[in-house]
Amino acid sequence: QVQLVESGGGSVQVGGSLRLSCVVSGLTYSSYCMGWFRQTPGKEREGIAALDSAHDTAYAESVKGRLTVSEDSVKGTLYLQMNDLKPEDTAMYYCAARQHLLPAHVDLLNPAEYNHWGQGTPVTVSS
C-alpha cells in the first residue's frame, strides 16, 4: 500500500522560503514518478514540479527558477524547496506518486497521471 505524508507548510512573507517534505512508502517498482501539485478553492489542481525514476524533472512556467523538486531515495522522501515566494503561491500543496512495472511515458505535471496522493499541507504567502 502506497502512502504519502506531507509536511512543512506554513505561513511566510513575500520573498521568503519554505521546504515541503513528503514521506513516501510502499513503492515497490523501480519505475515511478512523484510530483507536487497545488490547489486553491474553485480552481483545478495544477502540477508545479515533478520528477521520475529516470531523473527527468518538469516544472510549471510559473515556478521555474524559484521552486526545486528533489528526492532522497534512502529516506524515501520527496522535497519541494520554495524560494522567493509570492502571494499567488498561496494554496494547498499535495504530493503524489505513481509507479509502473515497466518504464512509461508520463506527463509529469498532469494530476490525472497519478493514483496515490497525500493529504496536503497548506502554504500561505502574505505581503
Report d(CA 58, CA 36) in Å as an integer: 10
Beta-carbon contacts of 98 under 8 Å, excluding residues fewer than 6 positions away, are 32, 33, 34, 106, 113, 114, 115, 116
Q: What is the per-residue pLDDT for 125? A: 98
DSSP category for residue 125: E
Q: What is the per-residue pLDDT for 28? A: 87
Report d(CA 62, CA 80) in Å as an integer: 15
**pLDDT tens digits, residue range 86-106?**
999 999 999 999 998 887 889
Report d(CA 81, CA 66) in Å as an integer: 8
pLDDT at 30 over 90: no
Report d(CA 2, CA 126) in Å as an integer: 34
Report d(CA 57, CA 55) in Å as an integer: 6
**pLDDT tens digits, residue range 45-100?**
999 999 999 999 999 999 999 999 999 988 899 999 999 999 999 999 999 999 98
